[in-house]
Structure 1
Amino acid sequence: MSTEEIPTEIARIVEPSTEEKRATKALPIAKVVAGVLTKGTLSLVPGGGFVTELMHVVEQRSDRKKQEVLALAVAALQEDADALKARLEDDDELAALWLRGLSAAQVARTSEKLKVFAAILAGAVDADHHQRMVANALFRVLEQLEQEHIEVMRLVEEAGAAATSKEPDGSNGRSGATLPWLQERLPHLTPVLPLLLATLTSLSLTRNAWENTWGGIEGRVAFVLTDLGSELLRVFRSQV
């Protein structure tokens, strides 16, 4: 395939079929990408030189984020640079954990998240094996969390802290954030709220307050934070 044919071939692959167009027609999220994956747009893909320059810019930003995390971690440790270097050279587990954290940090979107990565790296230096396992697990969780997830978690916390509601029959209800309640407060995230909540629940950061109750059997859903979710929010607050 010639270089000139590549954009056309890409357009052929990504152009949705008639059935796919029907399936996505009613989805609000489709508006976000409308008009982007078209043959006209893809035919404007620039040459290799320009793409290489763009990649260089992206890589520079990633490097700056890693450097910022390193600087924050070192500042928090207040340890002699040579001593820290010696630790990383002699401790394979610690070095691997730092590499893991830096790899995750390079795609972080906010300075708040970078500070959390740095705090975990600094804490891992004097941690034992089991604590480092927890730190590694936290990196995996943080990699999947974006600012939108944190926004949702903060509102879920707010709803969970509310007084327990009353049901129409006078019985105690369950405090928590329902999907309509969240949609009202986060209208800009309405199309993706189910996906965000599903991710948070899969990471054991939120749960259904009606879980293991008759309300849950009836299909009621109200989200509250788990202990892990509450602790993670506390860590974010400590780095503001």
Structure 2
Amino acid sequence: MRLPCSHIFCKKCILHWLARQNTCPCCRKEVKRKKMVYVNKLRRTIGHLEVKCKNAEAGCLVTCPLAHRKGHQDSCPFELMACPNEGCSAQVLRGALAEHQQHCQQGGQQHCPLGCGATLGMAELAHYNCYLKLREAWSERQERSQTMLQGLLRRVRRVHRSSRLIRRQLAQLSHLLEDDAMPEADAPQDDSLGTEVWGAQGQGTLEIEG
């Protein structure tokens, strides 16, 4: 792409530069993106340049025009590819991918066709029955629930027995307290002190009146 100052740069490079500062890398003049233009003739010239495959270090000896390099990469046997088997994270060359898939430990794994979500190998898939697995899991859960329920019932019975014992002890304690209070309530009152006081008060009254 040509800038308004006539300097020419790769589009990807200049856009990366302009994201940081809005000036030309060469002359530092301000750049207005609307005035940037494609240099199509130069792009075609560069596209005809012979270049090596980007996988040359891995062993690829192919050279091709720059404009065709992307198409070559899509079929290059030295391109690193991810194993398509679910659960395998290996990266192998495209030329060795078929052999890797034959020996891959995750190879041939599929999801259960009945929809339970299990991932199974071909050997497991032949005799796997998720309905039976579900029944077994349900039975185990039922047994755990019954065990928990029986434990809770035993605890409730213990609490009930403890509460009855506490009520009996409280009733006995109440009877003991009532028995201790009865003698004080039924004891005869000693009126001698009251008589002496009344007599003393009566004599004093008579003396005043006389």
Relative to the length of structure 1, the TM-score reads 0.19
Bigger proportion of residues as helix: 1
Bigger proportion of residues as strand: 2
Higher relative contact order (CA 8 A, sep 6+): 1
